[in-house]
Structure 1
Amino acid sequence: MSTGHAHGKSMPRKLAFATIPLSLLVLAIKLAAWHLTGSVALLSDALESIVNVVASIAAFIAIVYASKPADHDHQFGHHKAEYISAVVEGVAIVVAALLIFREAAAEMLHPTMPDDIYLGLGVNVVASLINGVWAYVLIRAGRAARSPALVADGKHIRTDVVTSIGVVIGLGLALATGYAIFDPLIALAVAAHILYAGWTLISESVGGLMDTALPPDEAEALRRAIADNAAGSSDVHDLRTRRAGSAAFIDFHLVVSADMTVGEAHDICDRLEGAIKTAIPGSSLAIHVEPEGVKAHGVRVRIE
């Protein structure tokens, strides 16, 4: 394994681990803001941060497990563990939204003006700044490493930032107008946003568990790599792909002349494998070589 590849695999693990103490720090800050004010909106923000702590621990465990090499019982690796973590995180977001709905609905019946709003808002803004920077780091690094769990964790934290912005707006309106009802109203709006974000995350993660094909940009890069490096063969067909976290699985049939030697066909396969792995890092290939005259099936690639 190259040093660069090893670093690429360890980076998501280090970031996921660092997220745990950071999420605990943010939770403590938000609980302090709620304790100072008694605001239901700030309580809703703190509730989501509790979910952040649980989700960050789940993401770390999933990334560690997913990085394990293939073994006898998991011969294609453990990559899909990250999708499971992302689904769990999506469910946790939905649970947080429902908890916020419950708290806000109760407060709607008897709204009260929070105490020490300025101090509470100041404390909450500090937590939001920490979350905003870290969410950007996680999403960017997760996409670069093709880590669904890291991206999901980053999106969850980014949702928390949106929650905090909504809370600041709601408390600002309550303070400016003197109407305490803005506090639970903004909490309800925030809960609706979180619910949507959680559902979106679950949908995307389930797609990964269902062996979704490579996205259009990667599919085009794959076809280009095959077309430019299949000289000596006459056809490529039955092309199939699937993405599993940082890994991509690709298989296709390569048609060659019936009188071509095994060595010559092997050289073409080696050339294709090198080009495809450059175009799609982390890919695993299965190439079936067959003689001309066999009926073609599935997706075909025109060889140039």
Structure 2
Amino acid sequence: MNENKRVMQLAFWGIPLSLGILGLKMLAWYVTGSVALLSDGLESTVNVIAAVIAWMVIGYAAKPADDDHPFGHYKAEYVSAVIEGVLIVVAALLIVQEAVGALASPTLPEAPVLGLAINFAAAVINAIWAFTLIRAGRKYRSPALKADGEHVLSDVITSVGVLVGLLLALATGYAILDPVMAIIVAINILFQGWKVISHSVSGLMDHVVSAEEEATIKAAIAAHAAGALNVHHLRSRQAGRATFIAFDLVVPAAMTVGEAHDICDRLEQAIEAALPGAQCTIHVEPDSETAHGVRVTM
């Protein structure tokens, strides 16, 4: 199964799963009347919308390059990730609204054992799914899939906080702990949403690859640049699942075009093997026009 198909499948299954989690959480709220559980359910409502957006955008990002988009549609995933971050913030604000309204007249939940059991089951399912999405997002270099996983993980954090708040309220008899815990959880969700947004905006601004990936690129160049003299002006940018790399390759002035082309082919293949999804642009220069550079043994 190719990477695009696997990513699309994961994004699609997030839709029915998020709907099922929403149903469980609203059932937990229905049997207890807890404002914290209602807040948790409201965040899951946002999760459903986010899952649909992620699936649609990942499908668009997988489209091949065309005349209007010669470098592909990869950046669409960052748009989805930004929307995910905004929706996380919206969910947090909805939670605060519900919790503040309940501060004036807090009440202890009804049928707490059943409600907590239902919510706990939803949290466990969500946690498994969140780590599955995050791991797949990193493996397939999908910002949208990773952001969706982080969104679901923020939902898990909400559920844990809600469960703790309800247990404290039941143990102490202080019903106000229910909405107070909901507000504390919302603050944490706001922070998570900000992290998702800032990371995604960075991707839209053509952020360079990580230090580890840059070291991988340099190692591949050094190991497969036999015949060249040095390289310089190494640039990189991350665009969703694609990595664009460009650098200048200095060769002896007497080298033929065919020989220089063979070196470029070898380097492109080595970099793509070391960094799947990489696309290279190499500018060849004769040594007579280059006074300095970084040796290929870097």
Q: Trace 1:187-198 onto structure 2 (pairs within 5 A).
A: 187-198=182-193
SS in 2 for 1:293: helix
2:71 corresponds to 1:76: yes
Runs of 4+ in 1 over 6 A off after TM superposition: none
Contact 2:250 2:290 in 1 (8 A): no
Distance 1:81 1:267 in 2: 34
Q: 1:296, CA displacement in angstroms?
A: 6.1
RMSD (Å) for aligned C-alpha atoms: 1.1
Give the corresponding residue for 2:29: 34
Distance 2:170 2:295 in 1: 66
2:207 corresponds to 1:212: yes
Distance 2:17 2:196 in 1: 22
Distance 1:114 1:273 in 2: 62
Contact 1:246 1:282 in 2 (8 A): yes
Give the corresponding residue for 1:101: 96
Give the corresponding residue for 1:247: 242
Give the corresponding residue for 1:91: 86
Give the corresponding residue for 1:264: 259
Give the corresponding residue for 1:18: 13
Contact 1:27 1:49 in 2 (8 A): yes
Distance 1:45 1:287 in 2: 51
Give the corresponding residue for 1:137: 132
TM-score, length-scaled by structure 1: 0.96
Contact 1:79 1:247 in 2 (8 A): yes
State the AA in 1 paired with 2:48. V
- Which of 289, 295, 298 is the equivalent residue of 1:302? 295
Identity, % of aligned positions: 58
Give the corresponding residue for 1:279: 274
SS in 1 for 2:238: strand
State the AA in 2 paired with 1:156. H
Aligned length: 297
Distance 2:96 2:129 in 1: 27
SS in 1 for 2:131: helix
TM-score, length-scaled by structure 2: 0.98
Q: 1:9, CA displacement in angstroms?
A: 1.5
Structure 1: gaps (5+ residues): none
SS in 1 for 2:117: helix
- Which of 97, 105, 108 is the equivalent residue of 1:113? 108
Structure 2: gaps (5+ residues): none
Contact 1:223 1:301 in 2 (8 A): no
Give the corresponding residue for 2:141: 146
Contact 1:238 1:296 in 2 (8 A): no
SS in 1 for 2:12: helix
Q: 1:294, CA displacement in angstroms?
A: 2.1
Larger CA deviation: 110-119 vs 216-225 = 110-119
Q: 1:301, CA displacement in angstroms?
A: 3.8
Give the corresponding residue for 1:128: 123
Contact 2:82 2:197 in 1 (8 A): yes
State the AA in 1 paired with 2:173. G
Give the corresponding residue for 2:216: 221
Distance 1:125 1:115 in 2: 16
String of CA shifts for 1:266-297, please: whole Å, max 9, x gaps. 11111111111111110111111111132468
Give the corresponding residue for 1:163: 158
Distance 1:296 1:264 in 2: 22
SS in 1 for 2:288: coil
- Which of 220, 228, 232 is the equivalent residue of 1:233? 228
